[in-house]
């Protein structure tokens, strides 16, 4: 998997695999509650394609509500976000959400090969909170642990993930670099065309 783990895969790990020695801060407890919802779904055998699709849709809904796609889009586009109309922003958010959610489904089964340890929970800028975890390959205990940091911000009465950093690689920074490079070459329209093409082809984000 590129860059050790994809950010989407890292988010799935926090919610769908066994946890070990978890810290018990309020935001960690929130993530663990989501984990229990997802894990309950995954424990039910999917005996048919329809059953698997229905299960995957439920998991996607849980994780999709956890990730703040609008804030992710705004942070990933940086100054380009301010240059776009409300309609353009909405279209971009929709495309990014569709790409990321499709990636959830593609990686869902692979998450069961890992275990997650919640390490700590510390305040970040403003009201945000960092939750740090370590992921280990359950089948290869000699493989080094992967450090995964989740940045969450309050959203209504709950919390939402606004960035995932995997072994020092930020999802937002990675997307921003890709989006900027494409826009410099092909403009805004070229970026959206690239995203639509990825959706049609069934390939990764960009």
Q: Give the DSSP H or E segment for 121.
A: strand 114-123
What integer pLDDT is reported at residue 49 of this predicted model?
87
Alpha helix locations (H) across 17-107? 26-42, 49-66, 69-77, 79-82, 86-107
Distances, alpha carbon 12 to alpha carbons 9, 76, 120, in Å: 5, 20, 18
Best CA proximity match to 67, nearest among 106, 15, 109, 20: 15
What integer pLDDT is reported at residue 10 of this predicted model?
66
pLDDT tens across 82-98, in order?
999 999 999 999 999 99
What integer pLDDT is reported at residue 205 of this predicted model?
56
pLDDT beneath 70, residues of the chain = 1-23, 107-113, 203-206
What integer pLDDT is reported at residue 185 of this predicted model?
97
What is the dotted CATH code of the domain comprising 7-201? 3.10.450.710
What integer pLDDT is reported at residue 2 of this predicted model?
42
The 10 Å Cβ neighbour count of residue 172 is: 21
């Amino acid at each position: 998997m590129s860059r050790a783990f994809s950010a989407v895969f890292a988010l799935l790990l926090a919610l769908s695999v066994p946890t070990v020695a978890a810290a018990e801060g309020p935001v960690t407890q929130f993530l663990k509650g989501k984990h229990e919802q997802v894990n309950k779904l995954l424990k039910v055998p999917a005996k048919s394609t329809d059953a698997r699709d229905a299960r995957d849709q439920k998991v996607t809904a849980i994780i999709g509500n956890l990730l703040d796609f609008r804030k992710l889009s705004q942070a990933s586009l940086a100054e380009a976000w301010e240059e776009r109309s409300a309609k353009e922003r909405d279209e971009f958010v929709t495309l990014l959400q569709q790409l990321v959610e499709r990636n959830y489904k593609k990686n869902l089964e692979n998450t069961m090969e890992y275990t997650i340890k919640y390490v700590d929970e510390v305040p970040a800028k403003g009201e945000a909170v960092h939750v740090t975890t370590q992921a280990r390959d359950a089948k290869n205990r000699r493989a080094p642990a992967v450090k995964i940091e989740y940045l969450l911000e309050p959203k209504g009465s709950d919390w939402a993930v606004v960035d995932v950093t995997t072994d020092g690689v930020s999802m937002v920074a990675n997307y921003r670099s890709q989006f900027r490079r494409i826009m410099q070459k092909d403009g805004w329209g070229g970026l959206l065309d690239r995203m639509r093409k990825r959706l049609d082809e069934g390939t990764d984000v960009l």
